Every structure is written in structure tokens, then in C-alpha cells.
Amino acid sequence: MPDDAAAAFRAFFERRHVELARLAFLLTGDASVADDLAADALTEVWRHWSRVEAADDPVAYARGIVTNLTRQWVRRRIRERRGLLGMHLLAGTRGTPDPDVPAVLDVRSALSHLPHRRRACVVLRYAFDLSEREVARVLGISVGAVKSQTSRGARQLAELLGSQEASRIEHGAREEAR
């Protein structure tokens, strides 16, 4: 790779690494996994740098790689979890409430309950403040799909966060009654 291309990639890396890791974190909820996924995405960007650099929006291209890698990671985790449940290795951990429930709403936890595309739309629209058109370009879907997925995701988040708040209030009332 010519020196000027290597310098351009290095500058891109320095400007965008933290943002891509943050995107991966918001999609996975796991900081160490997010760092790995951002690194993997930037490796792919490096491998295809001439194509990325020539793209209309290199950042959107990189974000698309991150969302695809996180989708693959989530799917792999689901398959692994199903396998462990099938072998009864996770029996007893499923549905067991944590007795030390934090008093603060955990948006990351609520986000983890959203399907991947919905979660990606919500995160890109609200956490990264991208337009619907930009989100569509990153995810490779239509603007209409972004609108519907974002709307459904926001509604689902509100319901999840509302039910968490209701559980905390109910739990608090039970504690006070004791």
C-alpha cells in the first residue's frame, strides 16, 4: 500500500476507532467484545481501504461493517446459549432475578432485548444522531425500514424501561411493607 494511502487510513483509524467501538458497545453491551469488534472492523476497512476511501461515505461503510460483525456475534451467542440450554448447563440461571437490582434504569439491558436491526436503528439514530438516510446507508436497508424499525425500537424500549421502573416501584413498596 502506498505511503499516502497508509497515512490516510491511519488518520481514519485515529478519528473513528473510538466511535466504532462505542457503536459496537451499544449494540453488544460488552466493552471487551466491542473493542474486538471495532478492531476486526478496522482490519476489514484496512483490507479494503481503496474501496472504502472511494466510497461516498467511508464512515458509513465502516459503521456497516461494525453492525454486520455485531449481528454475527449476537447470532453466535444465541446459538451457543441454545446449545447450553439444550444440555441443561444453564438450568437454574434462566429467569432468576438478581436480588441486587440497580436503582438506575439500565438502557443497555433494555437495548439487549431488541432485535439486532431495531437496536442498530435506535442506536445509530439516537446515540449517533444520524439521519434516517444515513442509517439506511450504514445498514443497507431502505429509509422506510429505518423509520419503522426506529419507531418500533423506541416503543419497545419505552415499554421495557417502563416495566423495569414498575418492577422497581413494586419491589420498593414490598420492602417498605416489611
| Tens of pLDDT, residue by residue, the chain (178 residues) | 678 989 999 999 999 999 999 999 999 888 999 999 999 999 999 999 999 999 889 999 999 999 999 999 988 887 776 665 554 544 444 444 443 334 234 677 788 889 999 999 998 998 888 999 999 999 999 999 999 999 999 999 888 877 665 555 555 545 555 5
State whether 83 and 117 are in the same domain: no
State whether 114 and 159 are in the same domain: yes
Using CA atoms, how far apart are residues 65 and 138, in angstroms rounded to an integer? 8
Instruction: Output the CA torsion sign for 31, 23, 120, 100.
Output: positive
pTM: 0.62
Which of 96, 121, 152 is at the close of a domain? Answer: 96
Query: Which are the contacts of 140, defined by CB distance < 8 A and separation ≥ 6?
Result: 64
State whether 57 and 115 are in the same domain: no
Domain that holds residue 10: 1-96
Domain CATH number, residue 121: 1.10.10.10
Using CA atoms, how far apart are residues 135 and 116, in angstroms rounded to an integer? 14
The angle that helices 58-86 and 3-28 make with each other, rounded to 10 degrees, is 40
